[in-house]
A and B are shown apart, each in its own frame.
Chain A
Amino acid sequence: MQLKKILDNYPKRKDYLLEILLDLDQEKENHFISEEEIQRIGSYLSVKDAHICSVMSFYTLLSTEPRGKYIIQICKDVPCYLNDDFNVLETVKDFLGVDLGETTKDGLFTIEFTACIACCDESPAMRINGETYTNLTKGKVITIIEGIQEVEQ
């Protein structure tokens, strides 16, 4: 029903595909778009499944595979790297016990890379579901994740 509500917000125009997909991704707890949803969007906009799959697979913020409720995206570009003395990625991986691209068993977290999120002046930085966290230290990274774990318990 999430999807129906979203579709109702948009005219039946092919150019709204990306907007619809982004809305749906945000609405869905496990941040993925299923085959059935793709087919429904396709028939709403009169576009073929292959087109939607092509779009889905092109943009990194979208996924056809279930992901965690929280997506931790870590920047690995040079400006962050130059200030990342403790290695954000390793810290998150060690703390959650999963690898890059994997989801924790409780379905809460997925670790991903992100392209530069333009926080180079407050690097190192990471992004969790749209919120940006900057000037990270090892302690700060763990506190942020623990904070989310507490909220979810």
Chain B
Amino acid sequence: MVNVIINGRDVAVEENTSILEAAQKLNINVPTLCHYPDLHINSECRICVVEIEGYRGLKTSCSTPVREGMNIKTNSPKVLNARKTITELILSNHDAKCTSCVRNMSCELQSLANNLGIDENRFENVLHKVEIDDHNPSLVRNANRCIKCGRCVDICKSVQSMHVLDSMGRGHDMEIRPAFGKYLSDEFCTFCGQCANVCPVGAIVEKDNTDVVWQKLHDPNVHVMVQIAPAVRVSIGEEIGLSTGLISNGKLVSAMKHLGFNNVYDTNFTADLTILEEGTELISRIKNGGVLPLMTSCCPGWINLAEQEYPEVLPNISSCKSPQQMFGTLAKTYFANKTGRDPKDIYVVSVMPCTAKKYEAARDEMSADGKHPDVDIVLTTRELGKMFRQMGIDFDHIQDVEFDNPFGITTGAAALFGATGGVTEAALRTVYEVVNNEPLDNLDFHDVRGLEGIKEADVNLGGTMVKVAVSHSLSNARTLIEEVIAGKSPYAFIEIMACPGGCIGGGGQPYGTTNDVRLERIASTYTIDGAMVYRKSHENPAIKALYKEYLKEPNSKRAHQLLHTEYFSRN
């Protein structure tokens, strides 16, 4: 243990603890800006400087480890002046139109400036305005707001191994942007949105679709329905200021009804459907010597990566559409038929934890009639929170309401889709019982749960031990993909999710998504699963009815026509 004095108070901490962490132990809050849990410590912004007796200059508390006997001041006049000056400098090169910025009141720079009491900037604004990149359906990059903290570069490069963004130029002219001054859409960006999730300001945000949704909600000629992804119900609470990992089912449905949606449906329903389709595909590939390993197809960030960089593995990817898109297709075909509506009068909104889903919904082939998109528009969890705020919804005090039927009856297996390993666990519950023709004793596959980057499990299918693997974050995905390409993959089934933690850690989730937060959302996901009446997708009575009434059987001709898709090399 190392003993140090911070602001006159003694504290003993482990060796190699940073001054920042040591201060936190004393509940002394040292402001930070570039620092983000789980990312590298680059100590670029210099906001967290402190004074250490006997040390030259000020030191950044995030990067300086404690040493025995250090006498540290986190709030001396010199420190406060330095922080204030640095913040003024950041603001002098920032498009600080706070009240007309999407991050107003959720901006880390704004609250820093506020906390430091900045009411005047001594330095003239030297911002050189550049073009805003809004040339894709998912993300908007407004470099005029960028404060060069480096978080987006770090997550894009280190965690996602995409390296679409980097620092270009140097000194005051340095900008964070893609190569050759191009748009995100010109580069191999997967639109995973992790950059947007960690951005402290409004420099990278999802493309805002709330206005168009409001318009549709108030158009009497349009039947507006919404589907809500599994991961949203464990994060929307945070977005509106409630506790982390709060499970919101009934209140969420109720709030959606308040917004004016005609039907509030559950993407979990089509998650169950996905398990039936994908599980059947897996069994048939194993039986008939098809291409293995079968790789999951729910995650559009991963599909983008495969199409752009690894066309070799396209045959491995399940032909199943993602649950979002299966829902969209059913809405515009089955539902339209059943309710006697013209598909063009049905408007399908989805609420997703994801920015890449916006891109997925806009893909040309994701249209049952070839004219209208199956899913018309995608909102992120954050955008939904915004709509709730716009509407003034008192989330705490609204009544619980059930999802509408038929797309509201779901299973615990479907709920798992939100967490890394969840699709695999859900698939195994079904595939095991179908192949072995016996009930599964223990439904919980602990090997595929948790935040380990790559997870493995063995499962007995008809007397053969079959290996499955799960990865989350694209850097981990590459490891598994490259094994497949090299012909060295020992697995029959691989689940890939682009975002760390899976969809609960998606790019469209509330700000402040750290590993600690991910773990809480994951825990809630398993709580939901445990409390469900049905916990296996093939036991979902509504799914059974859908097959009986409309699709016949998994992988039937009609199922293929409606629920499956194909992938294209964009390399």
Binding site for B on A (CB under 8 A): 35, 38, 48-54, 57-58, 64
Contacts and interface: CB of A to CB of B under 8 A. Distances in A.
Contacts of B187: 49-50
A50 B179 contact: yes
A50 B178 contact: yes
Contact of B170 (A51, A52, A57, A64): A57
B367 to A, nearest CB: 33
B386 interface: no
Contact of A58 (B170, B179, B180): B170
Identify the interface centre among A38, A50, A52: most chain B CB within 10 Å of its CB: A50
A54 B167 contact: yes
Nearest to B181: A53
A48 B179 contact: yes
A38 B168 CA distance: 15
A49 B179 contact: yes
A35 B180 contact: yes
A85 B179 CA distance: 43
A48 B163 contact: yes
Top 9 closest A-B pairs, CB basis?
A49-B179, A48-B163, A53-B179, A54-B166, A50-B166, A50-B179, A57-B168, A57-B169, A58-B170
Nearest to B170: A58
B164 interface: yes
A49 B170 contact: no
Contacts of B179: 38, 48-50, 52-53
Contacts of B166: 48, 50-51, 53-54
B169 to A, nearest CB: 5
Interface centre among B166, B170, B179, B187, by most chain A C-beta atoms within 10 angstroms, is B179
Nearest to B175: A57
A93 B164 CA distance: 39
Contacts of A54: 166-168
B203 interface: no
Interface in B154-211: 163-170, 178-180, 187
A38 B181 CA distance: 14
A50 B163 contact: yes
A100 to B, nearest CB: 16
A53 B170 CA distance: 12
B517 to A, nearest CB: 29
Contacts of B169: 57-58
A44 B170 CA distance: 26
Given A48-B164, A50-B179, A54-B167, 16 more contacts: A35-B180, A38-B179, A38-B180, A48-B166, A49-B179, A49-B180, A49-B187, A50-B165, A50-B187, A53-B179, A53-B180, A54-B166, A54-B168, A57-B168, A57-B169, A58-B169
A50 B168 CA distance: 8
A38 B187 CA distance: 14
Contacts of A53: 166, 168, 179-180
Nearest to A53: B179
Contacts of A64: 180
Contacts of B170: 57-58
A102 B467 CA distance: 62
A87 B508 CA distance: 57
Contacts of A57: 168-170
Contacts of A49: 179-180, 187
A57 B179 CA distance: 10
A45 to B, nearest CB: 13
Contacts of A52: 179
Contacts of A35: 180
A83 B166 CA distance: 41
A38 to B, nearest CB: 8
Nearest to A64: B180
Nearest to B168: A57
Contacts of B165: 50
B120 to A, nearest CB: 34
A26 B178 CA distance: 26
B154 to A, nearest CB: 13
A52 B164 CA distance: 11
Contacts of B163: 48, 50-51
8 contacts: A35-B180, A50-B163, A51-B163, A53-B166, A53-B179, A53-B180, A58-B169, A58-B170
A64 B163 CA distance: 20
Contacts of B164: 48, 50
Interface string B106-146: 00000000000000000000000000000000000000000
* Residue from A52, A53, A58 with most neighbouring chain B CB atoms (10 Å): A53
Query: Which of B163, B165, B166, B169 is the most central at the interface, judged by chain A CB atoms within 10 Å of its CB?
Result: B166
Contacts of A48: 163-164, 166, 179
Nearest to B169: A57
A118 B164 CA distance: 38
B163 to A, nearest CB: 4
Nearest to A47: B163
Contacts of A58: 167, 169-170
Nearest to B178: A50
Nearest to A52: B179
Nearest to A35: B180
B416 to A, nearest CB: 34
A56 B121 CA distance: 34
A57 B173 CA distance: 10
A115 to B, nearest CB: 12
Nearest to B161: A48
Interface string B266-306: 00000000000000000000000000000000000000000
Residue among B169, B170, B180 with the highest chain A CB neighbour number at 10 A: B180
A54 B153 CA distance: 12
A22 B169 CA distance: 17
A35 B182 CA distance: 11
A53 B181 CA distance: 9
A114 to B, nearest CB: 15
Nearest to B188: A48
A3 B48 CA distance: 46
Nearest to A42: B179
A58 B170 CA distance: 6
A152 B63 CA distance: 56
Nearest to A55: B166
A58 B165 CA distance: 15
Residue with the highest number of chain B CB atoms closer than 10 Å, among A35, A48, A52, A64: A48
A64 B169 CA distance: 12
A35 B179 CA distance: 9
A42 to B, nearest CB: 9
A54 B181 CA distance: 11
